Structure 1
């Protein structure tokens, strides 16, 4: 997942995906401070400070894979 400033600067990679752990269905919050996505069958959320500095990543769900509902 890349972010790009409206001024036209170069896109910056913010979330690295891999073939074994892809990022699925990313959604940016309306205020642009968080991005929610699915990775490893669990909902994740990454926060950003204004200016898109790197922030904290938190796992929001647990046990999805073990429940058999994925």
Structure 2
């Protein structure tokens, strides 16, 4: 039976940085690598809120991206 092993976790913050000429929102992202693999969604959201408080742009979204290795 194959097993999955979590190898890496990243946190991505999406900020709304303004409006373009067509009236569409402009988004910027900031990615943080080497996030603790055991961090919960609540912990990551709190960290994102704290980081966003330091930015002049509006926090639009928070994403977690995990990478795993499949061992057979």
Provide the TM-score with structure 1 as the length reference. 0.29
Max Rg structure: 2
Q: Greater helix share, 1 or 2? A: 2
Q: Greater strand share, 1 or 2? A: 2
Q: Which has the higher contact order (CA 8 A, sep 6+)?
A: 2
Provide the TM-score with structure 2 as the length reference. 0.29
